[in-house]
Structure 1
Amino acid sequence: MRKALFFLLILMLTACQEEDAEPAPEQLPEETAEAVASPEVRVAEFIELWKSGDFPAMHTHYLNQGTQAVYGEANFVTWQQELHEQLAIDNLEISYTPVEDGDWTPEQPADFAIQVAFDTIIGPVEFEKTLTLLYESHGEVEDWFVEWDPSFILPNLEAGDRVSTEIAQGPRGEIVDRNGNAIASNNTGYEVSIIPENFDESKKQQLAELLGMSEQAIDDKLNQSWVQPHYLVPIAQIKADQSTLDELFTITGTTRAEVDMRNYPYGRALSHITGYMGPITAEQLEAWSGEGYSAETMVGRQGLEEILQERLRGAAGGRIILEKQQENAVITSVENEPIPGETVALTIDAELQQTLYGAMEEQAGTSAAIDPDTGETLALVSSPGFDPNEFVPNITNSRYQELANDPLQPFFNRFAAVYTPGPVIQPITAAIGLESGTLDPAEGLDIAGNSWQRFASWGDYRVTRPRADVPNPIDLDKALVYSDSIYFAQQALNMPNDDFRIGLENFGFGEEIDFPIDLSPSRISQDGTFGSEGQLAGTASGQGQMQVNILHLATLYSPILTSGTLYKPTLLLDDEDQQVWNENLLSAENAELLRMSLSNAGTELGTELAGKSGTANERGEQNAWFVGYSLVNPDLIVAMMIEGEEGVEGMAEQVLEARENE
């Protein structure tokens, strides 16, 4: 077990016999030696004060005279307050075992079995003790008073003991893909510490350069309120080569210890899924108050590292050590083995994710791949990414600013955002029309020109199509092959009442996506309705105010392959597969019609895919889209968007061909 020395607390518990010790308790007259009230009320009150940390009241009103004489109030209070702070004692629970039918007399002590449990920086501490009460006269008060010693703070603690603490942090759990490939794993790094009284101050600049930090940052660590000259003070964690370690070793007063350090084997390709580790923020420290975190803790800062923090976090272990003054010996008061964090497996295929990311050539865009028969998310890419390894253990401010100011915005998570989808939404419009019964796939429409409006009341708005040279009549197959926006506008307008809007809602538009990583939900419009006929007509081809999330878009095509069932997208491998989002969205016959048309559309593009491509205007720029699947193995749907780029179909084909060749 690798152990890291986190701090050294030296607390001298002195048995301070005050010069003017209080007299021994008065002996009660012989005639009062008879049954008295049960001490149980006093036990319960004492325990409540103990749990609330009201040590002054415990000392003044509940300790017996002998204990008060040995342990003055200042020592009694200070010992416990300092130990509570330095050991991060929390969640203190104390209970006692009631004594049934006790025969209580003032001459006999009253014993109660108590159980003590609390959390510390080395994990939970539990022990049992016997709490003894004596019946005494304190001034005008005759009652039961507690006999106390330091072993009620920690097992085997005695006056005069020196207390130190070693911490061994449980290793953080790994994140792995569906095949067990590590996505976020642990490597060996080093924690460099200083013993102030031994440190060669003339080497501070050298140390700062080796650690990649400023001299002021080192001073800030050494000037923390708890630091004493003989304490071991952690300064920084580093990834270091042997030459750096050798040079560090020459600086007097420094030590190094091995620590686990995060590693991200797939780097940029999975950066927006994994996120990264970093020092805990003030907001996180406040949100996780009372859960054993300190200002020095490294935690997940983005992505699944942050979302799965509690599952991945290992539980600390270690030892509370007592250096016995009287016996001149060192013993262990409490020892806990550290507990590793949980290994979390994802539905992601990391090799497929890397292939998708590579195909996008770090151009700005996003892509997703799903299994249509299960809803499992096999890839989810935001491009360009960033290398989360640069954050281990800390990214320099200059490098962070360089990434933050990159015009391609590598920190922006595009797969969590929504975009105008354009013609790739047309198969969904067709599915709704087919099920509504208003769209006859064999019926051809005569459409003239490249723009159209139903009524002059539409004003300047007209529906435009990319090609006007496609020979009439235009049926469903031609409309999908050539992205005929006018055809789909007319089909949407032919649907009665709110059939088109309701159909889109049945496909999940307007619903929050139940997913571990927050994803913006796809929407029909800003308010979920059509403000005009023109807006409805544009939405039929993914324009108007429609916005779609890339993972949802890939999922929208799955009922075409499942004959009508839409499954919720999942990311965690231990989640149940085939969680039905909605069903009966398409009949088997209509699903087959759409599969044939998508196959024809892919052939027209010159690919071996079935799918739909197109471009959409997004804030004055054209984004290129493709959604489709392999005709050979239709077990994978890929959706891809590249900002301002054409030829996206070839990127998708490259990915699907690589999949077939595995």
Structure 2
Amino acid sequence: MKQLPIIFILFSVMLLSSCGGPEAPEDRFAAYANAWSKGDVEEMYTYFTKETKQNMDRKTFVERYEKLMNDLQMDPSSIELPEEGDVQNDNEKTARLPFSVKMSTLAGDISFEKEAVMKLEETEDGNEWYIDWDPSYFLPELEEGDKVRIQTLEGERGRIFDRDGNSLAMNGTAVQIGAKAGEIDDKGKQQVAEVLDLSMEEVNKQLSQSWVQEGYFVPLKTVASTEEALVKKATAIPGAAASSKAVRVYPYGESAAHLTGYVGDINAEELKENKGYKEGDQIGKRGLEQLFEKKLKEKDGVQIFIDKEKQEPVIIAKTNPKNGQDVQVTINAELQKLLYGEMKGKAGTASAVNPKTGEVLAALSSPSFNPNEFTLGMTGERYAQLQDNPLQPLLNRFAAAYSPGSTIKPITAAVAMKTGKLDPAAGKEIEGTKWKKDASWGNYSVTRVTPSRDPVTLESAFVASDNIYFAMSALDTGAEQMKKGLESFGFGEKFPFTYPLRAPQLSNSGQLESDILLADTGYGQGEVLTSMTHLASAYGAFLNEGNMMKPILLLNEKPSVWKKELVTEEQAAIIQKGLRGVVEKGTAKAANVEGMKISGKTGTAEIKAEQGTTGKENGLFVAYNANQPDFIIALLVEDAEKQGGSKLAVEKTGNFFLKWKGYK
């Protein structure tokens, strides 16, 4: 046999048609094959014997096989036709032609061999060869009465694990509660609506969809598999039923919701932006689910089979599914859960970072939402409640940047000491609670909480959180050196973290163009901004030989230094001593947990339009256990002005360390 190109087939047919007598059977079959390769089902029908046409009229044939070609995405890419010597003539009116077919389909290639039976029949214009056709010419083993089925073989989305193998996102099941069309009466509909908290309008709308036929199960609501009592109550109603449904499950719920995100049905805009997806597919909507969508996304397989009435189904093509890749992150889910619990619904955020490796162990936003509600099918009313909540539970705060307040003071000290502009042991003579550089500042001045009788050293400035001391230190360092120093800690550049966080900001312009802005920046007001993950990472330099590690989210990522030699060993020891003093005798006494050597720095950042006005306050605390500095926590509570400013952040962090000590 030989494979004839379509152009040759057409030429051969045209040539022979100009000669007297019927075309050769192999050329008639070649014309049929050409019509098939073009998907011209109507033309294929013209080459069939009278008997074939009697068994199936043109309309039925065209409708059925056009649909099959479209549904199967069939493309006969190679049809090998018989050569002249391959034709067997039973008699003058019957010929047999062996041929083979290779075609691509949505389930892969299908190949088969077949013997075509050709019959010579009389026509108005003389005799002509026709194909004694049956369905096995179209697909192997296909017979009249058989049904061709397409089955999706579902792959599994990749899972997301924390560093210890705990599931942050997994594939589970839920329960669909619904009704059987035609088997539930109005009374049953009303009962189901009440049990599922739906309106009769919603129930009737679902039951009246175009695809619904009598006896079909129509889903009304998806609930967690743990809601056994609800399922039992609903299915006790005549005409109601339940079925299992594969869903994405988030075991840590609200505590990790902003981190994990969730999946949902792909929308029209996402379909345009993402190749290889189809309507009804699931796609990551937020968080890690969206960030690692390409890795996590599964690829469904498909098989084409022939469903026979009295025989086993025959699989004729199959593409196996491909599961998505699992992702393991550096997060410690239990630490995150415990830390989130301490927020107790207060608006704020926290991050925990390993100073030696840069691994991010926690990244949370509070308040939060339950991502499982989205995967089960959130009602519009429930979504509106989340949107309208003044605490904004849908807002991802750990991706935002905030004014660091006094938590920047150790960084200011590090910059000033490195430039040689700050002697930590030398005291600064500061009088009263207000100070300004000179008359050029007009009515503007830097204030501190309590006056000091003795000269202020770096250690006592840490303990008292003396704004004036650090404003002076920034001015002594100078705008250019202060700018370079803060940039060496990552301010003013993109934060190199896999999860997109707002970049830490030096100022709105990127410069420290005035003495007032320079002074304010020194104690964490001004226009400086940072995320909690960046802030915790920056403190890592004081515990890691002066090196600030690149933040890591993926567990298999190799640790690397982001910023090096930020402080000397001696300078780091001085800062560590000062941070311990803050907890022992300063503004963070509430975090002085027995048996642990908690060290850290508090901060209160006032958000206001201008000096002299009252604004909202955020309370901050950056802390670590000096006895076992496995991680540094940076925690912020919003709107803390009526709750003691940073005191609330200190209490929450101290409670966490106490519970973590017991947990460990």
Give the TM-score band, short-chain normalised.
0.7 to 0.9
What is the TM-score normalised by the length of structure 2? 0.77
- Going from structure 1 to structure 2, the CA distance change for 1:412 and 1:266 (only over 3 Å counts) comes to same
**Aligned counterparts of 2:111 and 2:463: Cα–Cα separation in 1:** 78
Structure 1 655/107 Cα, relative in aligned 2: closer, same or farther at 3 Å?
same
**What RMSD, in angstroms, separates the aligned Cα atoms of the two structures?**
4.4
Distance 2:292 2:102 in 1: 37
The alignment partner of 1:492 has SS state of helix
1 CA distance for matches of 2:114 and 2:420? 81
Q: State which drifts further: 148-157 or 636-645.
A: 148-157
Q: Between 480-489 and 244-253, report the one with greater CA deviation.
A: 244-253
Name the CA shift for 1:245/1:633 in 2 (closer, same or farther; >3 Å). closer
500, 505, 508: which is aligned to 1:523?
Answer: 505
Instruction: Select which of 316, 332, 335 maps to 1:352.
Output: 335
For 1:76 and 1:467, how far apart are their aligned partners in 2? 94
Whole-angstrom distance in 2 between the partners of 1:506 and 1:104: 82
- Asked if the contact 1:352–1:378 (Cα under 8 Å) also holds between the matched residues in 2, the reply is yes
* Residues 527 and 349 of structure 1, relative CA distance in 2, 3 Å threshold: same
**Correspondence for 1:114:** 102
Q: How far apart, in 2, do the equivalents of 1:534 and 1:493 lie?
A: 9
Which of 345-354 and 370-379 deviates more? Answer: 345-354
In structure 1, the residue matched to 2:616 is 621
Residues 1:162 and 2:147 are matched in the alignment? yes
2:406 maps to 1:405:
no
1:587 matches 2:568 = yes
Residue 424 of structure 1, CA deviation: 0.5
Q: Following the alignment from structure 1 to structure 2, what is the Cα–Cα distance between the partners of residues 194 and 114?
A: 45
Unaligned residue ranges in structure 1 (runs of 5+): 1-24, 50-54, 119-123, 136-144
C-alpha distance after superposition, 1:167-214 (max 9, x if no partner)? 564444433221122233344422356664666566333343444434
Does the Cα contact within 8 Å between 1:278 and 1:393 map onto a contact in 2? Answer: no
1:176 matched to which residue of 2? 161
- The question of whether the paired residues in 1 share the 8 Å contact of 2:36 and 2:76 is answered with no
Tell me the equivalent position of 1:462: 445
Counterpart of 2:124?
none
Equivalence for 2:650: 649
What is the SS of the residue equivalent to 2:493?
coil
Matched to 2:332, the amino acid is D
**Partners of 1:152 and 1:489 in 2: CA distance:** 88
Residue 10 of structure 2: aligned partner? none
The residue correspondences of 1:540-559 to structure 2 (distance < 5 A) are: 540-559=522-541
2:429 maps to: 446
Aligned length in residues: 610
Q: Which residue of 1 aligns with 2:371?
A: 388
1:150 is displaced (CA, Å) by 6.2
SS of structure 2 residue aligned to 1:418: coil
How far has the Cα of 1:59 moved from its partner? 3.9
Task: Specify the SS of the correspondent of 2:258.
Answer: helix
Give the TM-score, by structure 1 length: 0.78
Judged with a 3 Å threshold, the aligned counterparts in structure 2 of structure 1 residues 205 and 130 are, in CA distance, closer, same or farther, namely: farther
- Contact 1:35–1:105 (8 Å) recurs in 2: no
| Residue in 2 that maps onto 1:572 | 554
Write out per-residue CA displacement over residues 369-418 of structure 1, whole angstroms, 9 at most, x where no aligned residue: 11111111111121222233444512344433333333322222211111
Q: Aligned partners of 2:539 and 2:304: how far apart in 1?
A: 59
Quick one: which of 585, 588, 591 aligns to 1:604? 585
Query: SS of the counterpart of 1:548?
Result: coil
Give the secondary structure class of the aligned counterpart of 1:190: strand
2:313 to 325, 331, 354: 331
Which of 280, 286, 294 is equivalent to 1:302? 286
Conserved in 2, the CA contact under 8 Å of 1:33 and 1:106?
Answer: no
> Equivalent residue for 1:476?
458
Deviations 1:58-84 (A, max 9, x none): 346788733998587765664466557
**Residue pairs, 1:487-506, within 5 angstroms:** 487-495=469-477, 498-506=480-488
Query: What is the CA-CA distance between 1:562 and the residue it aligns to?
Result: 1.2
Distance 1:612 1:246, change over 3 A: closer
Counterpart CA distance in 2 for 1:500 and 1:506 is 10
* Contact 1:567/1:582 (8 A) holds in 2: yes
| Residue in 1 that maps onto 2:404 | 421
Q: 1:107 to 1:166 in 2, by over 3 A?
A: closer
Aligned counterparts of 1:228 and 1:653: Cα–Cα separation in 2: 61
Aligned AA (2:102)? I
The gaps in structure 2 that reach 5 residues or longer are 1-15, 89-96, 119-129, 609-614
For residue 260 of structure 1, what is the aligned residue in structure 2?
Answer: 246
Q: Which moved more, 1:627-636 or 1:529-538?
A: 529-538
Q: Aligned equivalents of 1:235 and 1:152: distance in 2?
A: 44
User: For residue 277 of structure 2, what is the aligned residue in structure 1?
Assistant: 291
Q: Deviations over 1:331-377 (max 9, x none)?
A: 24356666554443221112211221222232221111111111111
Whether contact under 8 Å (1:131, 1:146) holds in the other structure is: no
- CA contact under 8 A between 2:41 and 2:66: conserved in structure 1? no
* CA distance, structure 2, for counterparts of residue 504 and residue 131 of structure 1: 78
| 2:630 aligned with 1:630 | no
Mapped to 2, the partners of 1:436 and 1:277 lie a distance apart of: 50
The structure-2 alpha-carbon separation of the partners of 1:165 and 1:35, relative to structure 1 and needing over 3 Å to count, comes to closer
Aligned to 2:6: none
Query: Which amino acid is 2:160 matched to?
Result: I
Aligned-partner Cα distance in 2 for 1:539–1:466: 18
Paired AA for residue 217 in structure 1: E
Report the AA paired with residue 244 of structure 2.
E
2:260 paired residue number: 274
| SS of structure 2 residue aligned to 1:380 | strand
State the alpha-carbon separation in 2 of the partners of residues 489 and 148 from structure 1: 94
Query: How far 1:481 sits from its partner (Å)?
Result: 2.6
How far 1:549 sits from its partner (Å)?
A: 0.7
Whether the 8 Å contact between 2:479 and 2:512 is mirrored in structure 1 is no
Do 2:412 and 2:470's aligned partners in 1 also have CA atoms closer than 8 Å? yes
* Cα pair distance change 1:358/1:243, threshold 3 Å: closer
Change (3 A) 1:618 1:568: same
Instruction: Report Cα offsets for 1:32-91 as digits up to 9, x if no partner.
Output: 98999xx89x97x976x5xxxxx4xx3467887339985877656644665577x6x67x
Aligned to 1:22: none
Q: What are the equivalent positions in structure 2 for 1:205-224 lying under 5 Å apart? A: 205-224=190-209
Residue 65 (structure 1) aligns with: 47
3-state DSSP of counterpart to 2:600: strand
8 Å CA contact 1:189, 1:239 repeated in 2: yes
